[in-house]
Amino acid sequence: MTKKSPAAPDLDPSGLRKGLTSYGDNGFSLFLRKAFIKGAGYSDAALDRPVIGIANTGSAYNPCHGNVPQLLEALKRGIMLAGGLPMDFPTISIHESFAYPTSMYLRNLMSMDTEEMILAQPMDAVVLIGGCDKTVPAQLMGAASAGIPAIQLITGSMLTGSHRSERVGACTDCRRYWGKYRAEEIDDQEISDVNNQLVASVGTCSVMGTASTMACIAEALGMTVPGGATPPAVTADRMRIAELTGAQAVAMARQGLTIDRILTADAFENAMRVLLAIGGSTNGIIHLAAIAGRLGLDIDLKTLDRMGRDTPVLLDLKPSGQHYMEDFHKAGGMATLLRQLKPLLKLDALTVTGRTLGQELELAGPGFAQSVVKTMDDPVYPQGGIAVLEGNLSPGGAIIKQSSADPLLMEHEGRAVVFENAADLADRIDSDALDVTAHDILVLKNIGPKGAPGMPEAGYIPIPKKLAVQGVKDIVRISDGRMSGTAFGTIVLHVTPESAIGGPLAYVQNGDRIRLSVSRREISLLVSDAELRRRQELKPISPPTAARGYKKLFLETVTQADQGVDFDFLRAARPGDPAAR
């Protein structure tokens, strides 16, 4: 009988043998690891199975992930039925309303946490449970850098509520009702009543905000099982998707189907088509740029704009349309949308099932009559939801969500009313002394990646109260910040380079004329180059700094919106580069 040396080199780096802790003796490292995990009651038979890690983002601070305990149960069932061993582990969880100063400030930290925990702990594949806006992009970024087989499980959307027999849901209706309250159209009692109805269950926002956008994008990228984007959080369909996801993760581990084979240039092109066709959140383009950057790929804004000219908005969901996510699910979900978009898609792109997007569409079968996803001949909006603007005010590009803008304001020239930063805006926006008319253009500076910092969703500048009470519902707004995907209006965002690093936006003054032309894709400051140079020389800008901690890392390494607001050192140098280790 041959005796295996306990110190034999690790020839099968899978399951619990992956990434052994360094004690200088692999045999001892494995022996010790098994001794500890057996303290939790595991048997050798269990420990010999493929290990499926589960990034568990359940948190009392994140009601959008409030169904994670049920998802975990279904997911583990799926993993064990398929012969795997589920091992869940905690990571950072970010909720939009519970993240100070803004969730975007923490997205990269969550992506680093996800990447490092995937690589530090033994697992053959990982399931990423995400839902609320920044969680899915953070997980896809981290998993892309980690490079092992990975699959996304979406938590799912919340149910809609009812306020005085009107159907409501977060968060487009949150903004609409708050606008009514500001305009003094509803009283304290009614705003308090509607507060109870806007979020009718756990789950993510029920309109086409960033969470729903990223769920649809994850499926378009091939990163979820088919149909994984749309089931609401509290439904049986969502639990079945979780069970299926667990089984698929085991298959991926066995096949060695790594994430770089799924997140290809073709997959990103499909995701951009879907972003445009769903009237998706403007945040989606930032997140796509960041995920692609982790694989050494670029998202070109000019390409996005070109695609937008022949990709109509087909999905009739708020804020561009009228329905909610649960209606999209009942209408067949992503399969219904992808069937319409089929001529524009890269059908050979691989998905987590090991089959291509085209094969999955064939398997999904024929569609059925419904009214939520429109046809290419009769779209919700004739072009894609997002248009890319250029001009001397934004040499690195800016965007506008044209599908939720006022058509009468999309060709507009007006006088700038300038706010220097978010605090200045809060101080003066409701002042009777504010010199503003409905024809002016509101400009907000210093809410870009470094300016705020973290590029908060403050680009949805509220209508000044004196105009709101006159019944003004929209006004052109420009900033270097972002806005929630649930917001609407004629709002120019992501002005690049941002004002905090000396972009032209920093030098706009009250009374300057600005021209917006969405048809010509133009955003221009009607001030001469000589005058702009004079202003720059008079007031050179010093970018913000911090003495220590995460803020220092953030301010020193964060990139601009066109690069996804990722940290520069996390981007892969070239396509195909493995994780930087």
Nearer to ligand FES, 140 or 148 (CB): 140
Nearer to ligand FES, 64 or 388 (CB): 64
Instruction: For 310, list phi and psi in degrees, rounded to 5.
Output: -120, 20
Site for ligand FES, residues 372 to 401, rule: CB under 6 A: none
| Token output for 468 | 């709101």
**CB of residue 478 to ligand FES, shortest distance in Å:** 25
Q: Which neighbouring-strand residues pair with 515? A: 413, 524
Indicate the pairing of strand 166-168 with strand 161-163.
antiparallel
Contact 360, 350 (CB under 8 A): no
497 lines the binding site for ligand FES (CB under 6 A): no
Within a 10 A sphere around the Cβ of 372, how many other Cβ atoms? 23
**CB of residue 100 to ligand FES, shortest distance in Å:** 14
**CB of residue 130 to ligand FES, shortest distance in Å:** 10
Contact 566, 559 (CB under 8 A): yes
Smallest Cα–Cα separation from 482: which of 362, 401, 393, 579? Answer: 401
Nearer to ligand FES, 132 or 253 (CB): 132
Decide: helix, strand or coil at residue 229: coil
Identity of the residue numbered 528: S
Residues 428-467: x/- map of binding to ligand FES (CB under 6 A)?
----------------------------------------
Binding segment (CB under 6 A) for ligand FES, from list 203-211, 237-245, 279-287, 446-454: 203-211
How far apart are the C-alpha atoms of 117 and 397, rounded to whole Å?
35
Binding segment (CB under 6 A) for ligand FES, from list 38-46, 202-210, 352-360, 490-498: 202-210
How far apart are the C-alpha atoms of 80 and 309, rounded to whole Å?
47
C-alpha distances (whole Å) from 373 to each of 222, 249, 274, 312, 341 are: 20, 30, 12, 11, 11
Nearer to ligand FES, 95 or 287 (CB): 95
Site for ligand FES, residues 504 to 533, rule: CB under 6 A: none
Nearer to ligand FES, 96 or 440 (CB): 96
C-alpha distances (whole Å) from 229 to each of 308, 530, 542, 562 are: 22, 51, 43, 26
C-alpha distances (whole Å) from 190 to each of 164, 193, 363 are: 10, 5, 48
**CB of residue 62 to ligand FES, shortest distance in Å:** 7
209 lines the binding site for ligand FES (CB under 6 A): yes
Sheet holding 125-130, edge to edge: 85-90, 51-56, 125-130, 150-154
Site for ligand FES, residues 68 to 97, rule: CB under 6 A: 95-97
Size of the site for ligand FES (CB under 6 A): 12
CA angle, 331 then 333 then 337, to 5°: 95
Nearer to ligand FES, 208 or 461 (CB): 208
64 lines the binding site for ligand FES (CB under 6 A): yes
Contact 194, 168 (CB under 8 A): yes
Nearer to ligand FES, 95 or 329 (CB): 95
Contact 346, 270 (CB under 8 A): yes
Nearer to ligand FES, 94 or 297 (CB): 94
**CB of residue 488 to ligand FES, shortest distance in Å:** 15
How far apart are the C-alpha atoms of 468 and 262, rounded to whole Å?
48
Contact 238, 65 (CB under 8 A): no
- Dihedral sign from CA coordinates of 559, 561, 564, 565: positive
**CB of residue 439 to ligand FES, shortest distance in Å:** 33
**CB of residue 303 to ligand FES, shortest distance in Å:** 28
Binding segment (CB under 6 A) for ligand FES, from list 24-32, 53-61, 204-212, 364-372: 204-212
| Token output for 518 | 């969405």
Residues 167-196: x/- map of binding to ligand FES (CB under 6 A)?
---xx-------------------------
Nearer to ligand FES, 211 or 400 (CB): 211
Buried b (16+ CB within 10 A) or exposed e, 424-450: ebeeebeeeebebebebbbbbbbbbbb
Nearer to ligand FES, 317 or 429 (CB): 317
Find the binder of ligand FES among 145, 152, 160, 204 (CB under 6 A). Answer: 204
Residues 256-285: x/- map of binding to ligand FES (CB under 6 A)?
------------------------------
Site for ligand FES, residues 95 to 134, rule: CB under 6 A: 95-97, 132-133
Find the binder of ligand FES among 72, 118, 211, 572 (CB under 6 A). Answer: 211
**CB of residue 231 to ligand FES, shortest distance in Å:** 15
**CB of residue 241 to ligand FES, shortest distance in Å:** 18
Please report, as ranges, the residues that interact with ligand FES according to CB under 6 A. Answer: 64, 95-97, 132-133, 170-171, 204-205, 209, 211
